[in-house]
């Protein structure tokens, strides 16, 4: 069993000046909780400012406990990979370094880092958490919940809630420079290596339910299509009458 002594949190951000502060506030709380229980674990937060044209950089600059990295990729996979690469240039053994990944529009729970570190201490090399859109209309949220498994052993992979041991990350080839599903590709590669992993609902995070994403086919596209589907079903039911 290899105990974690360093955690790197990587947060890709593209024009997220409105939501990024709340995300970073939640990470600060998570760091405090971890420090109370595991003071020997060093934590670094890296925000990758990917083609930002708003005040996201100013948000990062105003926080002494956050390191900003500028990226011009315009691609979430490449942005995540850049953040990890920069972080791993510093001192630390990849075998005892844990990479906790989330998104700039996501709020993590207070025990998010502590839970991942404890799971890593049990020998796990990959932890896949769950997410819930926090501001969906109730009717759409109900439909979303019916299609998602918020339980232990769930089948989902979310870049907004994913932790991996740095040595396994490197062995798996890291995040691919793709605009979609870089999280799924990494998870599949780590699993294929035979590494011990866990899909858990114990680290559930809240994410924004925006309908316009950076690229088509992502989480925002899914929510937009789901909303349209719910609306169509309601219209059909209304037309059918009592």
The pTM (predicted TM-score) of the whole model is 0.87
The Cα–Cα gap between 221 and 226 comes to 8
Helix (H, G, I), strand (E, B) or coil at 164: strand
Residues of the chain with pLDDT under 70: 1, 137, 209-242
- pLDDT value, residue 65: 95
Q: Does CATH place domain 6-240 in 2.30.30.220?
A: no
* Element housing 157 (H / E): none
User: What pLDDT, on the 0 to 100 scale, is given for residue 230?
Assistant: 54
Shortest CA distance to 43 belongs to which of 63, 59, 27?
27
Identify the pLDDT of residue 211: 40
pLDDT attached to residue 128:
98
* Cα distance between residue 150 and residue 133, in whole Å: 12
Q: What is the pLDDT of residue 234?
A: 46
**pLDDT at 241 (0 to 100):** 58
Name the packing angle between helices 76-88 and 182-192 (round to 10°). 60
Radius of gyration of the chain (CA): 18
């Amino acid at each position: 069993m290899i105990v974690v002594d360093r955690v790197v949190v990587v947060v890709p951000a593209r024009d997220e000046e409105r939501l990024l502060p709340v995300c970073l506030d939640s990470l600060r709380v998570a760091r405090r909780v971890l420090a109370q229980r595991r003071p020997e674990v060093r934590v670094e937060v890296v925000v990758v400012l990917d083609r930002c044209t708003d005040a996201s950089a100013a948000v990062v600059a105003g926080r002494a406990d956050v390191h900003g990295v500028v990226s011009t990729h315009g691609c979430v996979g490449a942005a995540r990979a850049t953040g990890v690469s920069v972080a791993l240039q510093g001192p630390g053994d990849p075998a005892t370094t844990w990479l906790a990944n989330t998104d700039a529009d996501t709020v993590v729970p207070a025990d998010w880092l502590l839970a991942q570190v404890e799971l890593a201490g049990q020998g796990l090399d990959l932890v896949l958490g769950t997410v819930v859109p926090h501001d969906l209309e109730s009717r759409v949220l109900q439909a979303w919940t019916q299609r998602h498994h918020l339980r232990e052993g769930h089948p989902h992979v979310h870049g907004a809630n994913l932790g991996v041991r740095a040595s396994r990350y490197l062995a798996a080839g890291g995040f691919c420079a793709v605009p979609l599903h870089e999280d799924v590709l990494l998870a599949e590669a780590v699993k294929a290596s035979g590494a011990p992993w866990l899909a858990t609902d114990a680290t559930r995070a809240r994410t924004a339910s925006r309908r316009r994403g950076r690229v088509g086919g992502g989480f925002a596209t899914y929510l937009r299509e789901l909303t349209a589907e719910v609306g169509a079903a309601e219209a059909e039911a209304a037309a059918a009458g009592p």
